[in-house]
Amino acid sequence: MQLSFFERLPAELRNLCYEYALYEPDGARIRNEPSLLSTCKAIREEAELMYYAINDFEVIIHEDHIDHDLCQWLENKAGPRLRSIRSLSLHVQMPWISAQPPDTSNGLPEGEDDEYGSLGCLHLMHIMKSLRTASFNDRSLEKVIRFTLNDARDDEHFDKIERMSTTDQDRYRGAKFLILSLVHGESTTVEALESDDCERRLEELDRELRERRAAA
């Protein structure tokens, strides 16, 4: 069979073409593979792992739209594709965290926000379990996973969080709790949170996390 012009190009040039076509500058959403990978078997075999290696993957998790897309995606991509991923950001939206004390002005009965919050927390625990069982090659979780909670990043320092407004402290501390729980475990993180010297304990856990990320 006669080779096409593209197939006759050196592998280095083909890889440059793949990188240009497959890179998502604004982040790649899970379950949205580019159509190029469905063009033919040869291109998929040659370019698929590059797509997973060069992109920063993102997923939005909203307490009002709880599903298992991320957990299913992690399971379906297990193997070489998942091991190629270098960055996966989880953007968690939980409006109840920053909500005012319950009232009936929004038409919701008192306590309904708490119910949404409880369901959202249970869903996050399931996601944490799936992330811990995922294999990202030799890269540890803190080097691959990033959290935001209501747009607050998980890499802010505690001393800076202390100077924020109460509402912002809730968001940033929540993001910290998510990443610390993922990396150190819920029990260790909660134990530090409830200890008499919680600020020092949490700072120690966070310092270890930041040092491991910096060494990536």
Same domain, 49 and 102: no
What's the rounded Cα separation, in Å, for the pair 134 and 88? 12
Domain range for residue 23? 1-54
- Is there a single domain that holds both residue 85 and residue 151? yes
pLDDT digits over 90-144, tens only? Answer: 999 988 776 555 554 555 455 555 555 567 788 888 999 999 999 998 899 999 9
How much is the pLDDT for 1?
54
H or E element, residue 71: helix 69-76
| 139 and 116 inside one domain | yes
Dihedral angle sign, alpha carbons of residues 4, 9, 10, 15: negative
- The reported pLDDT for the residue numbered 2 is 58
Q: Please tell me whether residues 31 and 100 are part of one structural domain.
A: no
36 lies in the same domain as 98: no
Q: Are 85 and 57 in contact (CB under 8 A)?
A: yes
Verify that 87 and 179 share a domain, yes or no.
yes
Question: How many domains does the chain contain in total?
Answer: 2
| Of the candidates 175, 85, 62, the residue with the CA atom closest to the CA atom of residue 136 | 85
Q: Are residues 170 and 85 in the same domain?
A: yes
For the entire predicted model, the pTM comes to 0.85
**Residues forming beta bridges with residue 57, ordered by sequence position:** 28, 88
Q: Residue 34: which of 43, 79, 134 has the closest Cα?
A: 43
Do residues 16 and 74 both lie within one domain? no
Residues (pLDDT < 70) of the chain are 1-3, 98-118, 216
Q: Of 35, 54, 73, which closes a domain? A: 54
Tokens of residue 22, six digits: 């497959």
| pLDDT at residue 31, rounded to an integer | 86
Q: Of 14, 37, 54, which one is at a domain's C-terminal end?
A: 54
How many residues are listed for the chain in this entry? 216
Question: Could you tell me the CA-to-CA distances from 35 to 21, 38, 40, 51 in Å, in that order?
Answer: 10, 5, 10, 12
Residues 133 and 210 in one domain: yes
Query: What DSSP line would sit under 119-184, residue for residue?
Result: HHHHHHHHHHHHHHH---TT--HHHHEEEEETTEETT--HHHHTTS-HHHHHHHHHHHHHHHHHHH
